[in-house]
Amino acid sequence: MTCQVPRQSQWAGGCVVRHSSDTEACAGPRRSCYAQAAFCHTNAFFAKDQIHPESYELRMSPPFEVAKAHRWFAIELNNHAWDLIDAPARTAEETAEMLSAAHAARYHWRQVGTLVNHVRAESLVAAAYLAAGQPTLALGYAQTCLLLCEQAGDDATAFDRACAYGGLANALAALQQTAQARGFYAQALREVAQFEDADERAVFEKLYPAIGMTE
């Protein structure tokens, strides 16, 4: 069986969107740029009669189905982020791309996904931050993942719950909070014991190694 996490479109968020901006560049500081952009877009909206009709129509009615676009980007970005997480080594640029892809996947799933999609998107971002060596940021997303898992109830799988607990455990272990980490890892292993597919255990152990989890 193919590993669920990296390549399965239903698992976690994901797609990478290369956003482009049609706002003119300005020479001022960053905050001024954002304020100017907001001002320009607001004026354009309320003075739409001054915009070329075709341009305005494209802004209001994109030439594609928005929901399908969100889902396509979510899947593609999810797969790309997991590929980078699984990579044996990454450059600084690839690490930045991994985090961007994970966040973009999360965003797109938030627009069209189910609660379980949201669970897996939070797990993806937490795993990306763990892979990037940023456990403090990983901890927050892992906590949200567990909260959403609890809200999802039986719709969340044992693998979902194991990843939520595993993400928390690894983040806490990296932050030297060993006792808490061991507690969450023990909960993760109870979920692992329910896996029906041996491949899932291998995926879990690769993503959330038991480093520092034993006496």
Q: What is the DSSP string of 179-206?
A: HHHHHHHHHHHHHHTT-S-HHHHHHHHH
DSSP-derived secondary structure for 52-89:
-HHHHHHHHS-SS-HHHHHHHHHHHHHHHHHHHHHSS-
Nearest to 10 by CA among 172, 134, 101, 124: 124
Q: How far apart are CA 143 and CA 32, in angstroms?
A: 35
User: Is a pLDDT exceeding 90 seen at residue 20?
Assistant: no
Residue 187 is part of which domain span? 4-16+64-207
**Element housing 138 (H / E):** helix 135-152
The answer to whether 137 and 182 have CB atoms below 8 angstroms apart is no
Cβ atoms 129, 99 nearer than 8 A: yes
195 lies in some domain: yes
- 125 within a domain of the structure (yes/no): yes
The answer on pLDDT for 27 being more than 90 is no
CA 123, 126, 130, 132 dihedral sign is positive
Q: Tens of pLDDT along 180-214? A: 999 999 999 999 999 988 899 999 999 999 987 76
- Cα 73 to the chain's mean position, in Å? 12
Q: How many domains, in total, are found in the chain?
A: 1
Confidence (pTM): 0.73
Question: Which CATH number does the domain housing residue 170 bear?
Answer: 1.25.40.10
Q: Is 197 within the bounds of a domain?
A: yes
Weakest mean pLDDT among 45-49, 113-117, 204-208: 45-49
Question: Is 139 inside any structural domain?
Answer: yes
